[in-house]
Amino acid sequence: MSKVAFVFPGQGAQYPGMGKEFYETEEASRRIFDKASEITGIDMKELCFTENDRLNITEYTQAAMLTTSVAILEVLKERGITPDVSAGLSLGEYGALVASGVLSFEEACSVVRQRGILMQEEVPAGVGAMAAILGMDPEKIAEICAQTEGIVQIANDNCPGQIVISGEKEAVEKANAALLAAGAKRAIMLNVSGPFHSAMLEGAGAKLRKVLEPVEILDFKIPYVSNVTAEYVTDGSKVKELLEKQVYSSVKWRQSVEKMIEDGVDTFIEIGPGKTLTGFVKKINRGVRSFNVEKPEDMEKVIEGLKGE
């Protein structure tokens, strides 16, 4: 039987104007944007819809991305489009948790606002770095990172041929040189504000755990797949620990998608700005269908596509 996964993008997919058309045409989306403004004390419409210098700063980006994705999610639910499982890339995992029923949007929005601040503040600007490594097996990349002096590790296994490494700036630069010498096609330094998903963020993970302590974990409506383990999660008692570890652990996105496909998922619907995850899914397995919904007209394609089942 056909299964549908809702997947949510992470930081980097944001752009001015994201979610605006949904806000203007859908009451459910307006409720989410207005609620987010109330919870965070940020004018979420101004942040997401206009050109500004805050949208690409982590402490603002994370709340903006979650709000936009959930504003679209609510409209899909109204249209009767529901998933069998959910997953999200890094920050996107919070959208997946809302889709799974595990976190209310209000709780997720409040946590994500704090998460962005903690991650932004943990490492001074310029001390850490990230780089995309193209055209090399993850095992070889992990081996070279382990041999490199300083803190550097795999941060994201996105899809075949695309790995992201993270850590101390000097160590990342040394690893880049060693990886290119060992046969990597490209090693591209990324324009990011911190060494995300590296051991340098362990302190931020510990602080996030304290933020999560009073948060209510609700009953699962559907399972989600954790970035940390690439396994299905249905036990609410594990959620907070996994979210803490997620801040400083590698994001196993390729393995997460492979796990869902193994379980019978043949349709992936990316909810939120951009088509990043749709592209990754195609590179992981061309035998499954993938859609992205970032504008109202995209929903019609999804509805038509699902009718054919």
Last-in-domain residue among 176, 192, 208: 192
Could you give phi then psi for residue 139, rounded to 5 degrees? Answer: -65, -40
Position 191 scores a pLDDT of 80
Q: Are residues 113 and 213 in the same domain?
A: yes
| Same-domain check for residues 262 and 117 | yes
What is the domain extent for residue 30?
3-122+200-307
Q: Which two tokens stand for residue 181?
A: 């010498």
Please give the pLDDT value at position 125: 82
Determine contact, residues 158/92, Cβ cutoff 8 Å: no
DSSP-derived 3-state class of residue 132? strand
Residue 69: its pLDDT value, please?
98
Nearest to 137 by CA among 107, 153, 112, 157: 157
Q: Say whether both 163 and 251 belong to one domain.
A: no
And the tokens for 142?
Answer: 């992990």
Residue 260 CA to residue 229 CA, distance in Å, equals 13
Same domain, 250 and 113: yes
pLDDT at 309: 58
The catalytic residue positions are 90, 197
The three-state secondary structure class of 86 is: strand
Pair 239, 117 in one domain: yes
CATH number at residue 148: 3.30.70.250
Residue 114 and residue 158 in one domain = no
- What is the value of pTM for the model shown? 0.95
Sign (positive or negative) of CA dihedral 259, 263, 268, 273: negative
- pLDDT tens-digit map of 41-61: 999 999 999 999 899 888 899
Q: Do 292 and 157 fall into the same domain? A: no
Which secondary structure element, helix H or strand E, spans residue 291, and what is its range? strand 289-293
CATH number at residue 80: 3.40.366.10
Q: Which residues of the chain have pLDDT under 70?
A: 1, 308-309
Tell me: do 81 and 143 sit in the same domain: no
pLDDT, position 308: 63
254 and 225 in one domain? yes
Question: CA distances (Å), 72 to each of 6, 38, 238, in order?
Answer: 11, 19, 27
Same domain, 183 and 204: no
Answer yes or no: do 118 and 22 share one domain.
yes
Q: Count up the domains in the chain and report the number.
A: 2
Rounded Cα distance, 197 and 180, in Å:
22
Are 44 and 163 members of one domain? no
240 in helix, strand or coil?
helix
